[in-house]
Amino acid sequence: MAFVTRRSGRDELWAKSLDDGRETLLVAADGLARAIPRWSSDGGRLAYRRSRLTNPESELAIALLSSEGGDEQLLATLSAARETALDWSADGAWILGNSTRRSPAERSSACFRLRLHRMRKTKCAS
């Protein structure tokens, strides 16, 4: 299980073993917030939304992290949309997500697929 929490005044992304309850810190506060973490079906990778703490609407991105930690890999960086990784394909090759765009006059939402191998983004079929 992956979860986001605020401990000692820091925003953190953690993994927790459901077998033994052991918790592992994956990413600690660095001025960025992480939200809505989703594990790949094999448990090897974690996708989540990342944004700037001081302005959550800026520097929005979908990020990927190995279950063993390490550096984040940015998959999609956005300025006018809030994109969220919702789920993984069974083979781990795609991330299914949702994109919400807001303007003063309207709000629109659409789903998308992000192919990890070639980093290709396509709209979902209706």
pLDDT tens digits along 86-115: 788 888 888 877 777 666 566 666 666 677
User: Regarding predicted confidence, which is higher, 10 or 126?
Assistant: 10
The reported pTM is 0.72
Confidence (pLDDT) at 80: 54
Give the domain ranges of the chain. Answer: 2-123
The pLDDT tens digits for 57-73 are 666 778 888 887 778 88
Length reported for the chain: 126
Q: Please, which residues have CB within 8 angstroms of residue 74's CB and are 6 or more apart in sequence?
A: 50, 61, 62, 63, 64
* Class of 2-123 in CATH: mainly beta
Say whether pLDDT at 19 is over 50.
yes
